[in-house]
Amino acid sequence: MYHNPVLLKQSVDALVTNPDGIYVDCTFGGGGHSREILNRLSDKGKLFSFDQDLDALKNAIDDPRFTLVNQNFRFLENSMLAYGITQVDGILADLGVSSHQFDEAERGFSTRSNAPLDMRMNVMQGLDAKKIINDYEEEDLADIFYHYGELREARKLAREIVHHRKSKKIETTEDLKNLFSYIPAFKQNKFFAQVFQAIRIEVNQELEVLKEMLVQSYKILKVDGRLVVISYHSLEDRLVKRFLKNGMFEGEPQRDIYGNYSKSFDLLQTKAIIPDDKEIEENSRARSAKMRIGIKL
Residue 4: the pLDDT is 84
| pLDDT value of position 259 | 85
Q: What is the pLDDT of residue 260?
A: 87
User: What was the pLDDT predicted at 1?
Assistant: 62
Nearest alpha carbon to residue 255 among 267, 268, 246: 246
19 pLDDT tier (thresholds 50, 70, 90): very high
| Mean pLDDT across the chain | 95
pLDDT computed for residue 285 by the predictor: 86
Closest CA to 193 of 264, 145, 253, 258: 145
Q: Which residues contact 30 (CB under 8 A, 6 or more apart)?
A: 1, 2, 3, 4, 5, 56, 59, 98, 99, 100
Mean pLDDT of 213-240: 97
Specify the 3-state DSSP secondary structure of 102.
Answer: helix
Contact 291/272 with Cβ under 8 angstroms? yes
Residue 192's pLDDT is 97
| Mean pLDDT, rounded, for 222-226 | 98
Give me the mean pLDDT over the 200-226 stretch.
Answer: 98
pLDDT (average), residues 226-233: 97
Q: Tens digits of per-residue pLDDT, 47-76?
A: 999 999 998 899 999 999 999 999 999 999
Give residue 132's identity as a one-letter amino acid code: I
pLDDT at residue 100, rounded to an integer: 80
pLDDT for 251:
86
What pLDDT does residue 289 have? 97
- DSSP notation for 34-79: HHHHHHH--TT-EEEEE---GGGGGG----TTEEEE-S-GGGHHHH
List the alpha helices (DSSP H) in the chain: 8-15, 32-40, 76-82, 99-103, 129-135, 138-147, 154-165, 173-179, 185-204, 206-220, 234-246, 277-282
Q: Could you report the per-residue pLDDT of 87-142, keeping only the tens digit for each?
A: 999 999 999 888 788 878 889 999 988 999 999 999 999 999 999 999 999 999 99
